[in-house]
Structures are given as structure tokens and as C-alpha cells.
Amino acid sequence: MSFFIYEPDLIVQEDISETLSELFSDCSIRLFDSVDELFETLAAYTEPAVAIVARPTVCLFARLMDPTKLAQNVRFVVIGGGSKVSQPLPGWMQMVPLPFDTTMLISAIRTAISDLR
């Protein structure tokens, strides 16, 4: 299992990474500076993974809602941006509203992981 994190706030990104390291010590964690870099990596990734994406734009939501552009083995946890979604969430996406806390985030991640199994 791998975790991929895109969060523009580097302090929050590091906090998420540390929390995941403590809870899932046997998993790999990669941090991304851009959404494009994240999607390029995911396009070629074949193992089960959870991608955590924060503060998505409308354009990013369009990419997330199109299953033809997503790997079947990846589940997404989206932090914030719930007001940009006007339709039901697809099964590969968990939403965490802002403001969020660690408990909310971990709950969404655990749901995403269980969906991969």
C-alpha cells in the first residue's frame, strides 16, 4: 500500500505524512508539489494506493470524476472543496470537509483502504 499526498500547504502536508507514517509504518508515502505530477505518477502506478488531495479546484474535480482518467487501484481522499461537487461522489472518492481534524482524515483514509481490499 502506498500513499500519495498533494497539499499546497507544506506544513499541513508534512503533518499528514507524519500521521500516516505513525499509523501505517509499513507503507510508502510520496509527497507531490503539483497535481499534474501526482496524476502522471498515478497513471503508471499498478499497486493499491490512496491519494490524498487538498483544496481541489473545479478542474481537478473534473479529472477526479472521470473514471477513464483514473487507475482502478487508486482511491482518493479529498480535503475541502465539497462545495464544488454538485453530484454524488463516486465510490473511489472520500470527502473530508474543511476545517478538518486528524480523526476525520484517518476515518476517510481507512474507508478508502477498505474499499481497495
- pTM here is 0.90
CA–CA dist 80, 97 (Å, integer): 5
Crossing angle (nearest 10°) for helices 58-65 and 35-43: 10
Burial class (CB in 10 A: 0-12, 13-18, 19+), 8: exposed
Query: By C-alpha distance, which of 113, 75, 104, 114 is closest to 16?
Result: 104
Residue with cell 508515502: 29
CATH of the domain at 30: 3.40.50.2300
Q: Which three cell numbers stand for residue 35?
A: 497535481
User: Residue 86 has what pLDDT?
Assistant: 58
Tens digits of per-residue pLDDT, 31-73?
999 988 998 998 888 899 999 999 887 777 777 777 766 778 9
Burial pattern 69-84, b for ≥16 Cβ within 10 A else e, equals ebbeebbbbbbbbeee
Number of domains in the chain: 1
| Residue-number span of the structural domain to which 69 is assigned | 2-116
